[in-house]
Amino acid sequence: MISLPMMLVLYPIHKLWGDPCRRELPTFHWFLLELAIFTLIEEVMFYYSHRLLHHPTFYKKIHKKHHEWTAPIGVISLYAHPVEHVVSNMLPAIVGPLVMGSHLTSITMWFSLALIITTISHCGYHLPFLPSPEFHDYHHLKFNQCYGVLGVLDHLHGTDTIFKQTKAYERHILLLGFTPLSESIPDTPKKMQ
């Protein structure tokens, strides 16, 4: 509901940097460069907007809706207050293509990839050969850790220090087989009382 009006507003702005519907497709190498730039821009914008949404003023009125789910499922990746959806979900993904004056094909590939990764990070399953959801699952469990997408800014700001001391961190790897990581890296047994 919010995405279409925002795209209609941003289309004329995008045309200032180049026609996104031009006939010539970008080369594969150019797309890879764009993808790297999009990823860096999204990491910075998402981390800081997401961390800002955890400030008590914004959390209670805006971001708490998204955190109603402590055990994430894929569909809640976009379950958010409209302000959060624009500021923290859409803008970080849109700014890269706007800055680069990207072709519609690059934009479509980037948005598809971003949505797939967002859904995977909220699905609650660590699936083989796909990105690990452990980092963001931990964020939904402990709200003051793991704000970013890649974890680079979390490392720089120390907002992943508690996460790094957990079994979830040990499991935060690319699963290359079909044995669940909860079996190969089991939780530490609780002490008998």
* Structural domain includes residue 189: no
* Structural domain includes residue 176: yes
Across the range 84-111, mean pLDDT stands at 91
Which one-letter amino acid corresponds to residue 1?
A: M
| pLDDT value of position 158 | 97
pLDDT at 18 over 60: yes
Q: Domain limits at 161? A: 3-184
> Treating both helix axes as pointing N-terminal to C-terminal, what angle do 91-100 and 28-53 enclose, rounded to 10 degrees?
140
Across the range 164-192, mean pLDDT stands at 85
Residues 10 and 98: beta-carbon distance below 8 Å:
yes
Structural domain count, the chain:
1
Unique residue bearing structure tokens 């200032």: 16
Proportion of the chain above pLDDT 70, given as a percent: 89
Across the range 58-63, mean pLDDT stands at 92
| pLDDT value of position 166 | 92
Residues 65 and 81: beta-carbon distance below 8 Å:
yes
| pLDDT value of position 192 | 55
* Structural domain includes residue 118: yes
* Structural domain includes residue 146: yes
| pLDDT value of position 181 | 83
* Structural domain includes residue 161: yes
Across the range 3-15, mean pLDDT stands at 69
Q: What is this structure's pTM?
A: 0.86
Tens digits of residue pLDDT in 138-166: 888 888 999 999 999 999 999 999 999 99
| pLDDT value of position 124 | 81
